[in-house]
Structure 1
Amino acid sequence: MTSTDTPKYIYDFSEGRKELKNLLGGKGANLGEMTNLGLNIPPGFTITTEACLLYFKDPEKIMAQIKPMVLGHLKSLEKATGKIFGDKNNPLLLSVRSGAPMSMPGMMDTILNLGLNDVSVKGIAELTKNSRFAYDSWRRFIQMFGDVCMGIGDEKFERILDKYKRAISRTAQDTDLQVKDLQKIIADYKALYEKEIGSSFPQDPFEQLFIAIEAVFKSWNNKRAITYRKISNIPNLGTAVNIQAMVFGNKGKNSATGVAFTRDPSNGDNIKFGEYLINAQGEDVVAGIRTPKKLEELSNEFPEIYKDLKQTMVKLEKHYKDMQDIEFTIENGVLYILQTRNGKRTPSAAVKIAVDMVKEGLITREEAIMSIDPNKISKLLFKSINESAVVRVLAKGINASPGAVSGIAIFDSDRAEELANSQEKEIILVRPQTKPEDVHGLYASSGVLTQFGGKTSHAAVVARGMGKPAVVGAQDVEIDEETKEFRIGETVIKEGEYITIDGTTGRVIEGKVPLEEPEIKGEFLELLEIADEIRTLGVRANADTPIDAMKALEFGAEGIGLCRTEHMFMAQERLPVVQKMIMAQTMEDRQDALDKILPMQKGDFIEIFKIMEGKPVTIRLLDPPLHEFLPELSTVLLENQELKMTNSLSKSLLGISPLDEEIKKKKKVIKLIRSLSEENPMMGLRGCRLGIIWPEINEMQVKAIFEAACELKLQGVEVIPEVMIPLVGMISELQYVKTQLLEIAEKTIKDYRVDLKYKFGTMIEIPRAALTADEIAMEAEFFSFGTNDLTQMTFGFSRDDAEGKFLPVYLNNDILERNPFETLDQDGVGKLMRMAVKLGRKTRPNLKCGVCGEHGGDPSSIKFVASIGLDYVSCSPFRIPVARITAAQAEIMKKNKEL
């Protein structure tokens, strides 16, 4: 292969641009973009994500290919900086940093100060006349290299560091260490390295560089990165490697490092926000080791630099049309920009930023809608602390991610994950500071509290990204990880005890406190109104009670897409009557029970119809098997055994058997439960089959629906009932049931003398119904896809068994990319749906089609159903805002031919 045939695996920053994000990673593409904008960027180059993916196939081959390319680009760097890589007097030092196409803050690895060794550290000290800076940089490099490249736990280095800091004072910082301390630390670090690795620390800068490049490639598949990708649904695109000339924020009092946001990432306010540390390196800020200064203080310490930085922030936000997260370093009074990316933000900040930018003319309404992550919108419905609640505030930290949560304090990420899988209590992860390895603990927890760190620390950034409340930098909280407790003054909180954190105000509160549900208002309401103007896909709610219906209306539902009548049967005062109906020995007794149930159901329908006045209400007739309304067989058998024992004892002591009749009744119940039990109830006597075998139940329900509708119609209330017959697999089933029920509906309307529009339709949840949808549509006036059951029957999975036994294994081994019960399987289930819509509308062109399974609130699934021409989705009330935003995004994507 000639040199011209060799693929291009390395790009100079000047060759990069944002459109090459998938190839150069977000960091590399943005460094290229900023270089071409004329900003002061330390020079460097990027090894592509393509090289990373090839590394996992054949590491030796790709390293052999890129090695001469790296050396060639190093020559260009030497020319640009006037420094020589590996020189003992004026060495070029490098940062080697990962950069995935999609932002994964803190999940992957960085090495700074690469190129230092025992000789060049003296040259740097002499050149800069700053021995402390030189040895501090050398110390940091050994620690990062040992951790990232060789897998020596960072905590082992930290223990050595802490020993020397404690020798100075209990509160000593890294900056308090003197040259002699640093030299001792370096000696101890190198001894640790040799003990752990079995060889001395590499002194050859070129050896260091190629080890580091491989380490960054490997970091793409480290545990925390894989976990984060799975949580965030990030595809396996690989990571780029950015190699850049070092600039130093730890050269002394005229140097600093920091992170700046063009807007406040917590609330979205249009103010320049950020944090910085004097005499530090970039990792110090995000690691949360020291609590940084606020960005505005920079105006006092470096007024000209602050002015330049603000201008740069404005320029970058206008260029990217989004809030930017910018890393900067000041070296001896000179400002350098190291990175920019679209900033992680809380859901409330995302909404405010989007709406404000539309008002400012920076972006269009469509761009505002597309900037929102629908998965995070539900987090906007955060709880807050009741203002009238009397609370004991233990401490105040930095309000890093809004919302309030009460939960048990847990001090270890592994323990948090373990408890989250085994109990229903909310968990608050309490850590001195979180590290990237804690991502699984953060995911498992409902909130996070840290002793150290600021709003740009790892805990803050990741919690904001996950939409979880976070309080960071609560320095009055003294955490003892060994005893698993924290102390605030005289108060001690042990593991498992309740605390409350308020990420909106930064308060840490003792015990559980009353929390309030949120409201849709302000910018959130404005954004939803924009979404409603754009979308064409309808959004309805799954609501079974008047309370559900009211909540659905508050969140903007355009009707009810699924009202499950069986949930009305489960109320405590109703269940005995339902059980009496099921256990009735004669038709007369059964009808008597049904006559008592009818007014109960009718009352519910009246309330729901009133709340949803003028909006369609789709009512599903009884679906589950009857045994679900009866007690567990094991419970009844035990009760019968106890009755027999009591009866026997009474007979032996008193000569009477007072419980004979009770035992006879109990035996009848046992016989009935056994007769109704099934080997596979999901595919047994339920849905329309129940209506065929026990028609009187459906008849009672339809009578209740139409009496409620007609009575309201007489009162001037507009009602749009839609009766849905479940689990239809054959046209003959639908014809049989519909004929019975249509007669009752028409008779009721005639008796009330009203004009009432209504529809009879069916759920498409059996594959056969989808395959014969053209026939089904001859009788059905609407289709509603019951995607929960359709998924079960298409895959042949029992959801309860699958999720508990083998689905996790399938997901972990990439046999399945996503849980098909959470995100619609487009290749199988989706193909059946597409076919059913096409066939159904061939028979009935105006056939209304919707989806009412849990997938109706999943953004990916919503976009798919919009693409196949469904008219509406129906989801739980709290998912309605998600569905409204996603439906608007689907419309925009369709217009752009992206869907």
Structure 2
Amino acid sequence: MNDEKRVYRFGGDEQGRDVTEGSASMNYVLGGKGANLAEMCRLGLPVPGGFTITCQTCVAYSGAGDVWPLGALDEIDEATRDLERRMGRKLGDPDDPLLVSVRSGAPFSMPGMMDTVLNLGLNDEAARGLIKQTQDEHFVWDSYRRFIQMFSDVVMGVDAELFENALTEKRLVAGVKSDAELSSGDLFELVEEFKGIFQEHVSASDHPELVVDGKVMFPQDPAVQLRLAIEAVFGSWMNERACLYRKRNGIPDDLGTAVNVQAMAYGNKGDSSATGVAFTRDPASGENVRYGDFLINAQGEDVVAGIRNTQPIQEMGSYPALADAARDLERIFQILEAHYRDMMDIEFTIEQGKLWMLQTRVGKRTATAALRIAIDMVEEGLIDRETAVRRIDPAQLDQLLHPQFNTHTAPDVLARGLNASPGAAVGEIVFSSDDAVRRAGEGVPVVLVRWETNPDDLKGMVAAEGILTSHGGKTSHAAVIARGMGAPCVCGVEAFRIDAAAKEVHVEGTDVVLREGDIISIDGTTGIVVAGAVPLKRAELTGDLETILSWADEIRLQPGSTHPYHVRVNADNPEDAELALGFGAEAIGLCRTEHMFLGDRKEIIQSFILSDDEQERQAALDSLLTVQRRDFLKMFKTMDDRDVVVRLIDPPLHEFLDDPRSLEVRIARLEAAGAPAEELEALKARLRRIDGMAEMNPMLGLRGVRLSFVFPELPLMQVRAIASAAALLIRDEGLAPKPEVMVPLVSLESEQVQMRSICEQVIDEVAAEYGVALDIPVGTMLELPRACLMADAIAQHADFLCFGTNDLTQTTFGFSRDDAESKFIPIYLHNKLLERNPFETIDEGVLELVRMAVEKGRSVKPELTCGVCGEHGGDPESIKGLFNVAGVDYVSCSPYRVPVARLAAAQAKLAEMA
């Protein structure tokens, strides 16, 4: 027998005593929604009673092939009878029926990704009983038609547009603009019509339990309704949009969702009733003001679906019938924020003047708001600085570096909407998620333009540069998801009359018609829409971000802990170096010298590689020495008194040569045009040399340190350029440059020994030539498993170790990054063979190689400096492992990832100290 508890009660009993069995700490059991419903009950807040079916039940049900665990249905039946006793009403009762909502609730917030069913328990008899009870036919038939529509869509998979089309037709016939204006007779007719749609589109063979007298009928048994609804919510855990959301937000697939069955509170009982979604602070700006939307005479889905334009929460108290509830809501705002010590997201319903709380959770917010709220709460004494730093999602900081409009004059505004999610975007208009994915896949920036988004649009929202909707408020689906993704979004652009079928937009009040492929610019910070492309710029580190990062720096660099966590930058030119200094980089962890051979210098390196003439090759080397020294002078001057790790040339030399196939075409065309034989022979000889350098697997071929032995002039030239640039700055400008030479792709101790000897010889020669003392460390880049295994031997001849985890991942897995990420890694991720892309977040096997190599290196040199450069150096999850597991001293990342790395490093330090 299975003794696992599968159902937990919340709310009061028939005597009004609280019988809640859960708490906020049980989110992995009850899901976030169920745990917080239980917590609100414990706080004494007005919550309709109900029960929660655990996440583990969902996992067991799904894992068994959608078969219920032993005893689970019996426990649900008992919880249902208990709820009926507590509420004093029964599901399906012909005189005074109980109605319930069935809602999902995962351990982590996934707004709009899974399914909900409202008004469950209504059938023909219960509807008539409810009319007798309430004396309100309009309310009852409105609730019944909503239930049939939602149940058919969510549980049975009937196309929701069939119902929406019938509803639209009914409004047209009745001559009204909104659903609320339909008469009770209109709504009754819709109930019957909706039942007909259900009967026509639900298969009898798939659902024999719904067949009556040979026909599929809308289920009249509340027990059947409830079981099917719970199964549908469980099933929605694995729907496409939920899986995509979890993948994007790093939420495991094996957690499952809880199901909350809760007595209904009705916001559609006339003008003294309402429903709404609100935040205790502004989730877009962080300002300490109430923020949200409400609708009079509506149910909750109306607010988030964006089908009716909402009213701001601040206006609720101006309605006499809602004034008491508005005051109660303000009191609850204060209670919840003080209890959770965070900005809270709230769903509520007012039923004939009585406020009911349906949900609360820590609210999603923009990066701007997250910073402002964290700082304000420190100043208010609600949290300390360490909590504030923990609370900021490092990945969210990218939002603050998102582009903004870069124009000195105000752009010509085509239309205005709500500033739902900050940042600016420019792109071609597309009207569907599929088109957004397709065009973005072709490398075209797009703006997704929709009447309103729905959860199935997530893939298009991810692909788009920005999102625009003509309906919906600041808590609509588009707004909430865009803010969570950090995508610019403008909602409620009412002037846009969108014809998705014709793929065009008519802008009200103008003669402007926008069509698919036209360029628009949107600003999610101000809510404006501009025709055409507006230049964009990135934001700077100022204000709240600077404050939070200064707190982060104090934490990650504080004395007394095991060791400070440093952040460096990958920079190949003075401009990137200067930018990174502004972003708080402490040094340059990787300067890739091969990037200095591009552009107009490509001809120089080609002359060196391809020429058979020794004088020509030497002239090329002399030219490279001149330009490289000039580059290093600028770099070292910009980074004066800060480490600059310069990696010697790494990629295969043929990467600097012309594409052989393009050269073949050029030769063929010249031959056809009758070009001189001498010119043709020179080009053919060049082609033979290029083809002769081709490799079957260049990433494992003639590159890295191997180049230095095949072309020994190259490292001599590069080290001379580094050393002489440093010497000039010391001698002529009194500066304190701190270059370090890094030898790439070492796998043998002997490679490092010989390269160190060569480097030291050149450094000594330059020091004598310029009459200065030069202290230039020589280290190595560990990118191969053998190098990690032999790190103790290699470290004896290296002043530092730096791990190139991009190549180390390639060589550990045997994956080619250039091919794997497009060919089979997506399939591996989809089939759960990999949990995450190892080129984005460091793999545990690669991390173990780094940890082992650090340990081995420090076994022979206890003070050995070890760092990591590459993509993983800017990934928050990787950063935690690299510091806390591998024990490196620094990470080095691209300039725009430096702020992210600073915050992630501080959070890693806090985790180490916990």
Superposition TM-score, scaled by structure 2 size: 0.95
Query: How far is 1:358 from its partner?
Result: 1.1
Which residue identity lines up with residue 878 of structure 2 in the other structure?
Answer: S
Q: C-alpha distance in 1, partners of 2:405/2:643? A: 36
Tell me the residue number matched to 2:491: 472
SS of 2:472's partner is coil
Q: Does 1:182 align with 2:150?
A: no
Q: C-alpha distance in 2, partners of 1:248/1:647? A: 86
User: Counterparts of 1:561-580 in structure 2 under 5 Å?
Assistant: 561-571=589-599, 573-580=600-607
**2:786 counterpart (768, 771, 779):** 768
C-alpha deviations, 1:736-767, integer Å up to 9, x for none?
Answer: 12211210011112222223332100110011
Q: Does 1:399 align with 2:399?
A: no
Tell me the residue number matched to 1:553: 581
**1:516 counterpart (520, 537, 551):** 537
SS of 1:619's partner is strand
**2:567 counterpart (539, 542, 567):** 539
CA contact (8 A) 2:873 2:901 kept: yes
Tell me the residue number matched to 1:330: 350
**2:516 counterpart (495, 513, 518):** 495
SS of 1:249's partner is coil
Q: C-alpha distance in 1, partners of 2:774/2:149? A: 77
Q: C-alpha distance in 1, partners of 2:370/2:764? A: 51
**2:665 counterpart (615, 638, 655):** 638
SS of 1:797's partner is coil
CA contact (8 A) 1:713 1:756 kept: no
**2:625 counterpart (575, 582, 598):** 598
Q: Does 1:7 align with 2:4?
A: yes
Query: How far is 1:59 from its partner?
Result: 5.9
User: Counterparts of 1:341-356 in structure 2 under 5 Å?
Assistant: 341-356=361-376
Q: How large is the RMSD of aligned CA atoms in angstroms?
A: 1.3
CA contact (8 A) 1:389 1:514 kept: no
**1:694 counterpart (679, 687, 711):** 711
SS of 1:152's partner is coil
C-alpha deviations, 1:75-94, integer Å up to 9, x for none?
Answer: 32223222122211111110
Which residue identity lines up with residue 289 of structure 2 in the other structure?
Answer: I
C-alpha deviations, 1:177-210, integer Å up to 9, x for none?
Answer: 1111111111111000000114110011111111
SS of 1:647's partner is coil
> Greater CA deviation, 396-405 or 354-363?
354-363
Q: C-alpha distance in 2, partners of 1:239/1:873? A: 37
> Greater CA deviation, 395-404 or 801-810?
801-810
CA contact (8 A) 1:259 1:328 kept: yes
Alignment gaps of 5+ in structure 1? 649-658
Q: Does 1:790 align with 2:808?
A: yes
C-alpha deviations, 1:782-841, integer Å up to 9, x for none?
Answer: 111101111111101111111121111111111111111111111x11111111111111
CA shift in 2, pair 1:165/1:637, >3 Å: same
Q: C-alpha distance in 1, partners of 2:398/2:848? A: 29
Tell me the residue number matched to 1:52: 58
CA contact (8 A) 1:486 1:494 kept: yes
Query: How far is 1:684 from its partner?
Result: 0.8
Q: C-alpha distance in 2, partners of 1:64/1:894? A: 43
Q: Does 1:224 align with 2:238?
A: no
Tell me the residue number matched to 1:652: none
Tell me the residue number matched to 2:748: 730
Q: C-alpha distance in 1, partners of 2:90/2:362? A: 34
**2:467 counterpart (445, 448, 452):** 448
**1:505 counterpart (507, 510, 526):** 526
SS of 2:836's partner is coil
Query: How far is 1:389 from its partner?
Result: 4.1
Query: How far is 1:390 from its partner?
Result: 5.5
CA contact (8 A) 1:397 1:474 kept: yes
Which residue identity lines up with residue 376 of structure 2 in the other structure?
Answer: D
Tell me the residue number matched to 1:16: 22
Tell me the residue number matched to 2:286: 268
Q: C-alpha distance in 1, partners of 2:782/2:112? A: 45
Q: Does 1:824 align with 2:842?
A: yes
CA shift in 2, pair 1:183/1:63, >3 Å: farther
Q: C-alpha distance in 2, partners of 1:641/1:516? A: 45
Tell me the residue number matched to 2:170: 164
Q: C-alpha distance in 2, partners of 1:168/1:385? A: 46
Which residue identity lines up with residue 116 of structure 1 in the other structure?
Answer: L
Q: C-alpha distance in 1, partners of 2:819/2:854? A: 30
> Greater CA deviation, 174-183 or 93-102?
174-183
Tell me the residue number matched to 1:116: 122
CA contact (8 A) 1:389 1:513 kept: no
SS of 1:520's partner is coil
Tell me the residue number matched to 1:655: none
C-alpha deviations, 1:397-418, integer Å up to 9, x for none?
Answer: 0100001111111100112112
Query: How far is 1:699 from its partner?
Result: 0.8
C-alpha deviations, 1:394-450, integer Å up to 9, x for none?
Answer: 1100100001111111100112112222x2221111110111111111111111100
C-alpha deviations, 1:458-499, integer Å up to 9, x for none?
Answer: 000000000000000111100001101111031111111101
Which residue identity lines up with residue 557 of structure 1 in the other structure?
Answer: A
SS of 1:119's partner is helix
Tell me the residue number matched to 2:16: none
Q: C-alpha distance in 1, partners of 2:387/2:502? A: 51
Q: C-alpha distance in 2, partners of 1:886/1:309? A: 36
CA contact (8 A) 2:421 2:488 kept: yes
Which residue identity lines up with residue 338 of structure 2 in the other structure?
Answer: K
Which residue identity lines up with residue 31 of structure 2 in the other structure?
Answer: G
> Greater CA deviation, 679-688 or 298-307?
298-307
SS of 1:68's partner is helix
Q: Does 1:613 align with 2:640?
A: yes
Q: C-alpha distance in 2, partners of 1:141/1:647? A: 80
Superposition TM-score, scaled by structure 1 size: 0.96
CA contact (8 A) 2:277 2:347 kept: yes
User: Counterparts of 1:704-853 in structure 2 under 5 Å?
Assistant: 704-714=721-731, 715-826=733-844, 828-853=845-870
User: Counterparts of 1:409-488 in structure 2 under 5 Å?
Assistant: 409-421=429-441, 423-488=442-507
Q: Does 1:629 align with 2:652?
A: no
CA contact (8 A) 2:407 2:534 kept: no
CA contact (8 A) 2:93 2:126 kept: yes
Q: C-alpha distance in 2, partners of 1:115/1:643? A: 81
Tell me the residue number matched to 1:93: 99
Q: C-alpha distance in 2, partners of 1:333/1:80? A: 22
User: Counterparts of 1:144-293 in structure 2 under 5 Å?
Assistant: 144-169=150-175, 172-197=177-202, 198=204, 199-236=216-253, 237-293=255-311
Which residue identity lines up with residue 336 of structure 1 in the other structure?
Answer: W
SS of 2:539's partner is coil
Which residue identity lines up with residue 182 of structure 1 in the other structure?
Answer: L
Tell me the residue number matched to 1:589: 616
Query: How far is 1:580 from its partner?
Result: 1.2
Aligned length: 879
SS of 1:574's partner is helix
Which residue identity lines up with residue 369 of structure 2 in the other structure?
Answer: A
Q: C-alpha distance in 2, partners of 1:333/1:368? A: 38
> Greater CA deviation, 81-90 or 519-528?
81-90
Percent identity between the two aligned chains = 50
Which residue identity lines up with residue 341 of structure 1 in the other structure?
Answer: R
SS of 1:221's partner is coil
Q: C-alpha distance in 2, partners of 1:465/1:772? A: 44
SS of 1:803's partner is helix
User: Counterparts of 1:855-866 in structure 2 under 5 Å?
Assistant: 855-866=872-883
Q: C-alpha distance in 1, partners of 2:568/2:172? A: 61
